[in-house]
Amino acid sequence: MLWFLNKMCTSKARLEGKTVVVTGANSGIGRETARDLYARGARVILACRSMEMANKAVKHIKNNPPSRVNKSEYKNNAGELAIYSLDLSSLKSVRDCAKSLLTNETAIHILINNAGVASYPLYEKTEDGYETTLQVNHLGHFLLTLLLLPKMQKSSPNCRIVNVSSLAHILADIDFDDINLERSYGSFKSYAQSKLANILFTKELARKLKEANLHGINVYSLHPGIIPTRITRHGDKALFPGFTFCCNIFFHLFYKNAEQGAQTTIYCSIDEKVANETGLYYSNCGVATPYRMANNHQYSEKLWNISCRLLHLNPEEDFTTILETVSRQVH
């Protein structure tokens, strides 16, 4: 790993009494993020599609401290781990997961929208009728966030929502007339579009919270770095044979391992310096400038409106009313 590409989160913050939800926490940077926050004393909820993988992740996390922590200190100071079922390719599963969280958890302080898919070789739609990458990477998280916001409001101040995006957004545009890419699907195009959506959603949510005078919840988006995780598993079929091999050569020069790749997520979740920042984009444990499409205010508003409509919500309503409407969907 090239040393200058890799910064670690240096905050010593403890998280006793805090509850954190991490989507896609059964492998890769999601699991490393969960491990770090668990080591800091948080109650960490692994919201995962595969219960089998989630159970393995819990075992792995409990037995292997982060590199900065020794084993006995880890055992004595760690928090709690819990598993909830969440399949972002099903809006019913998103609502069921939210309902369980709202019913069983007394508070939610940090929501980390980490789960993601990339490079589906063939065009695929979910049971809800939306392009799979769009729904898993953006729309499912959009819905989950709206559903958990009232609980986070009650848990504030100092609550955070962290959306894991990617540098891939620099190659993206959003085709608002064909957001499901029915006419122009490309596996990388769908991934890049969804990662641009993560940043636009972050900006618009921060604006909506401010406009509605809802304080105490900050929103962050980030590029974690180039990490060889399971997200590239469809690359050989979707892009070209040998894609994974080429990735591995490239990764060997530039990659971060999963623990290093989780650092910016951890930084946005806990660092004291960013406690008063919201709506910004981060890379390598610092504020970064996203590509110009991500800075287009009309884009973020347009994406918000279309996302609401896809979820049968009225974007013309004020934010508080939208939250009340979406809450009724789970009761």
- Domain assignments of the chain as residue spans, ordered by start: 3-328
- Say yes or no to pLDDT of 252 above 90: no
Q: Cα 316 from chain centroid?
A: 26
d(CA 174, CA 190): 9
| Span 278-306, average pLDDT | 95
CB 88 within 8 A of CB 201: no
pLDDT tens digit string along 8-47? 999 999 999 999 999 999 999 999 999 999 999 999 999 9
> Of 161, 118, 122, nearest to 142 (Cα)?
161
At 217-228, the pLDDT tens digits run 999 999 998 866
CB-CB contact of 1 with 255 (8 Å): yes
CB atoms near residue 241 (< 10 Å): 9
Active-site entry in 38, 191, 220, 281: 191
- What pLDDT, on the 0 to 100 scale, is given for residue 102? 98
Lowest mean pLDDT of 33-37, 92-96, 241-245, 327-331, name the range.
241-245
pLDDT tier at 250 (50, 70, 90 boundaries)? Answer: low
User: Using CA atoms, how far apart are residues 224 and 169, in angstroms rounded to an integer?
Assistant: 13
Q: To which CATH superfamily is domain 3-328 assigned?
A: NAD(P)-binding Rossmann-like Domain (3.40.50.720)
Asked if 191 is an active-site residue, the reply is yes
pLDDT at residue number 50: 96
Lookup: tokens for 94: 């998103």
Average pLDDT over residues 277-290: 96
Q: CA–CA separation, 87 vs 296, rounded Å? A: 31
Q: What is the rounded distance in angstroms from the CA atom of residue 64 to the CA atom of residue 35?
A: 8
Report pLDDT digits (tens) over 172-192: 999 999 999 999 999 999 999
Show the beta-strand stretches assigned E in 141-223: 159-164, 217-223
Mean of pLDDT values over 234-244: 59
**Pairwise pLDDT comparison (293 vs 83), residue with the higher score:** 83
Question: Can you give the pTM of this predicted structure?
Answer: 0.92
> Residue 84 half-sphere exposure, CB side, CA atoms within 13 Å?
23
Query: What pLDDT is recorded for position 253?
Result: 59
Per-residue pLDDT band for 319 (boundaries 50, 70, 90) equals very high
Asked if residue 306 lies in contact with residue 201, where contact means CB atoms within 8 angstroms, the answer is no
- Average pLDDT (65-91) is 96
pLDDT given at position 3: 42
Q: Does 199 score more than 70 pLDDT?
A: yes
Is 163 a residue whose pLDDT tops 70? yes
For residue 229, is pLDDT > 70? no
